[in-house]
Amino acid sequence: EIVLTQSPGTLSLSPGERVTLSCRASQSVSSKFLVWYQQKPGQAPRLLIYAASSRATGIPDRFSGSGSGTDFTLTINRLEPEDFAVYYCQQYGTSPSFGQGTKLEIK
């Protein structure tokens, strides 16, 4: 089983700032299988990034993903008020798994 560890657990930032979220895998993950989701309270997760760096339809270009092997990152440039949420990374393999999430809160 591949374990994904996200860091930090919580981040307090202000609108307009830039943030980088980390997702580390316990073993190498093909970049084509690395996905990022955003979840707001009371809502289902929303697809942001697939194949480590491809934005899903309708996702603003301030969101970008990168990484390979065991280390992946999600970067959000110029935070907007609606970006404050929980972010999950996921690997889609034989047995998909999610990271524990990073909560982005308004400072």
Partner 1 sequence: QVQLQESGPGLVKPSETLSLTCTVSGGSFSSYFWTWIRQPAGKGLEWIGRIHSSGSTNYNPSLKSRVTMSVDTSKSQFSLKLSSVTAADTAVYYCARVVVKPSERRYYFDSWGQGTLVTVSS
Residue number with CB closer to partner 1 (79 or 86): 86
Residue number with CB closer to partner 1 (17 or 95): 95
Residue 52: partners with Cβ closer than 8 Å, 6 or more residues away: 31, 32, 34, 65, 66, 67, 68, 72
**Can you tell me which of 38, 63, 79, 101 binds partner 1, judged by CB under 8 A?**
101
- Cβ proximity of 36 and 74 under 8 Å: yes
Shortest Å, Cβ 50 to partner 1: 5
56 binds partner 1 (CB under 8 A): yes
Q: Tell me, by CB under 8 A, how many residues bind partner 1.
A: 25
31 phi and psi angles, rounded to 5 deg: -60, -25
**Can you tell me which of 7, 27, 68, 100 binds partner 1, judged by CB under 8 A?**
100
